[in-house]
Chains A and B, each alone.
Chain A
Amino acid sequence: MADEAPSMEEKLAQLRAQYAVKIQEQVHQLDLLLKNLPHASDIERQDIFAKIRDATHKLAGSGATFGFPDVTVHARSMEQACIAVLDTNGDAGQGIEDTLKQHCDQLRDAVGVEDQNAMQSHVDVARPPAPQLHGSSRLTVLIVMEYDDATAAQTHLEMDHFGFNSRIIDHPSKLINDIQTNGPVDAIIAGLVFDDDEKATLKVLEEFRKDEQNHAIPIVVHTALDSIESRLGAVRIGVKAYLLKPVDMADMVDVLDHVTQHHEDEPFRVLVIDDDESLARHTEIVLQSAGMSTEIVTDPMELFRALDNFSPELILLDLYMPGCNGQEIAAIVRQREEYAGIPIVFLSGESDKDKQLLAMELGGDDFLTKPIRASHLISSVRIRASRFRKLRSFMARDSMTGLFNHTTTKQLLDNEVARVQRINGTMALAALDIDHFKKVNDNYGHAVGDRVIKALARLLRQRLRSADVIGRMGGEEFAAILPDSDLDQAKQVFNQVREAFSNIVFHTGDQSFGATFSCGVAAFPHSGTATELSDAADKALYVAKRNGRNQVVKAESALD
């Protein structure tokens, strides 16, 4: 049931959008009927009132169901007015026409306003299945304290481009009330000076922090005020960052990302292999107390199942076991390509250095002698596991953006194409390239160029789903693999990203500039292999560049 709820809401949003279009047509019909009233004979008038009654009866009965409560309200007023006239055989006089006209106008307004909302939600829904964000499943919500309306509006807009949902309050005194009314937030961006009072915000935040519940909310100060007193005050209430105006939005976003990300990484997965279950349990308790996730294998024959199901990042191995010994197990693990690099740490009572070295030769990385102090065991395991994790991610990811690198992206594309071939599915590939990127580097320097690249990487992460693969193919080139999406869906998604990206303003020194990208999209099965997809997307990208850049071009039109 829980799984079905969102799809139901999506469907409802779609119906709502369709309904909005239909209502407009019906309002138009009502308008025509009303215009005919003054010229109609008495009998014709009765007929018109009856028609309006029936039409508005329907609208009243359906409006709120589709999310248009105002439609129900105004349609019902019109229906009742018509019933009243018909009951009195049309004696209600001239006033009725004005009343109906008024309600009809309000009805149209209700549709107009609601319609924009409906279209908005329709756009969201029309994104490929489950518009889930990469990494996190929801937007990060912020409160921005800013007294200047124009600055506030600008901040709100720019934050929106980066996928932050912000609420603006114009005075710190409104903070607590806002959180009570509108719910918790992920971070607060606080200006310091309000009504010439440099302590206005700090006083409120001090009070705010006294409530336990608010302790965890990161606060970022954003101010033009640079004094030791204010910085000290900020430190004392535990602000996470102190940014001096003017701040480049991309920098602000970096800071916000940093403070709102949950840094407790996924726990390290450690496989403990020991035939003595009570010893294994003891090791497990020690590691779990350090926040690691563990699994125990007491029968070496269970090894493969554990490797496949648990995919450990480190193996802690007893040297002597019945059946087969630790060295043999290490050798078997190393035979499997995907575990060739996994750290294997022997844990044994063996104190003979020669025997220890022999064990290492066969594939062990370290040798810990029992009994071992818990803290030593923990740090030895943690160091090796984290190094392994980092190494693996270096091999797969681009260091500047954290996106997949060229090799990995190509590999994942091959996998995805194989998958859709097998299931007769659909998928799309997008090739992106930042427009005139060389000029950015030439005019503003490479550091600024890097910021532009990071901003696009972040935006892609933000706007695409976690199932989508995003890669940095080199320089200012990006690629994205969208499973279960067709050409049109891909084009729509990247047009949204394109729009958002073109709205970002980068600041450097006292200059500011914007950047755009061009994008080509190709899709399976229109292009049938990984190579064909890449070629088609590249060609479409070329067309996008040739046609003036800052646009998304579908591969099929590129071929024509």
Chain B
Amino acid sequence: MSTAEISKILYVEDDPDIQVVAKMALETVGGYTLCVCSSGQEALDHGEEFAPDLILLDVMMPEMDGPTTLVNLRTISALEQTPAVFMTAKVMPSDVERYKELGAVDVIAKPFDPMALASRIQEIWSECRGG
């Protein structure tokens, strides 16, 4: 990860409504480039080619959930080290610990504020690069 700036985000979310808001929040407000995937499988199909700076995953998804998707993405060597962030409506401290063990650098609670999402991502990015 030699790039100092975050520009490309691989975003995995099954709920189309949330997809639209998050896409807007990250593209319009944050100015990031997004690859939006509606399932874990889609993320696995596009992840390598897109070569994201950061991976943003919803936890609860049908078929392949977020944590499983991340484990699978990590098998792609280009994505082995890419910082990952989970989004979840269930923010029990024990869960947060588990997600971090899976290699997530942080967890964003749902529901999120669309106007603040981009700056939250930026914050997490700066933190994980600084640390």
Binding site for B on A (CB under 8 A): 4, 7-8, 11-12, 15, 18-19, 22, 54, 57-58, 60-66, 72, 76
Contacts and interface: CB of A to CB of B under 8 A. Distances in A.
Given A8-B24, A15-B17, A60 B114 contact: no
Contacts of B17: 15, 18-19, 22, 62, 66
B35 interface: no
Contact of B88 (A61, A66, A72): A61
A22 B16 CA distance: 12
A12 B23 CA distance: 12
A300 B66 CA distance: 72
A57 B62 CA distance: 13
The 4 closest A-B pairs by CB, nearest first: A61-B89, A61-B110, A64-B111, A65-B111
Given A62-B17, A64-B111, A65-B111, 20 more contacts: A4-B29, A8-B24, A12-B21, A12-B24, A12-B114, A15-B17, A15-B20, A22-B17, A54-B60, A57-B60, A58-B15, A58-B89, A60-B111, A61-B18, A61-B89, A61-B111, A65-B18, A65-B21, A65-B112, A66-B21
A7 B112 CA distance: 19
29 contacts: A4-B29, A8-B24, A8-B28, A8-B29, A8-B115, A11-B28, A15-B20, A19-B17, A22-B17, A54-B60, A57-B60, A57-B90, A58-B15, A60-B89, A61-B15, A61-B18, A61-B88, A61-B89, A61-B110, A61-B111, A62-B15, A62-B110, A63-B111, A64-B111, A65-B18, A65-B110, A66-B17, A66-B21, A72-B111
B5 interface: no
A442 to B, nearest CB: 56
B97 interface: no
Interface string B84-123: 0000111000000000000000000011111100000000
A472 B89 CA distance: 57
Q: Which of B29, B88, B111 has the most CB of A within 10 A?
A: B111
A54 B14 CA distance: 13
Nearest to B90: A57
B23 to A, nearest CB: 11
A357 B112 CA distance: 76
Nearest to A54: B60
A57 B91 CA distance: 12
Secondary structure class of chain A's binding surface, majority of residues? helix
B29 A62 contact: no
Nearest to B88: A61
A62 B60 CA distance: 13
Q: Chain B interface mostly helix, strand, loop or mixed?
A: loop
A61 B112 CA distance: 8
Interface of B: 15, 17-18, 20-21, 24, 28-29, 60, 88-90, 110-115
Nearest to A75: B89
B28 A15 contact: no
Given A61-B18, A62-B17, A65-B18, A11 B24 contact: yes
A6 to B, nearest CB: 11
Contacts of A4: 28-29
A74 to B, nearest CB: 13
Nearest to B117: A65
Nearest to B110: A61
B20 A62 contact: no
A310 to B, nearest CB: 37
Contacts of B21: 12, 15, 65-66
A73 to B, nearest CB: 11
A204 B115 CA distance: 41
Contacts of A65: 18, 21, 110-114
A79 to B, nearest CB: 8
A11 B17 CA distance: 13
Contacts of B88: 61
Contacts of B114: 12, 65
A208 B17 CA distance: 49
A152 B111 CA distance: 39
A79 B113 CA distance: 21
A441 B88 CA distance: 66
Nearest to A69: B111
Contacts of A19: 17
Contacts of A8: 24, 28-29, 115
A15 to B, nearest CB: 6
Contacts of B29: 4, 8
A54 B111 CA distance: 15
A81 to B, nearest CB: 14
Nearest to A12: B114
A65 B91 CA distance: 16
Contacts of B90: 57
Contacts of B111: 60-66, 72
Contacts of A22: 17
Contacts of B28: 4, 7-8, 11
Contacts of A57: 60, 89-90
A66 B114 CA distance: 8
B110 to A, nearest CB: 4
Contacts of B18: 61-62, 65
Residue of B17, B29, B115 contacting most chain A CB atoms (<10 Å): B17
A72 B113 CA distance: 13
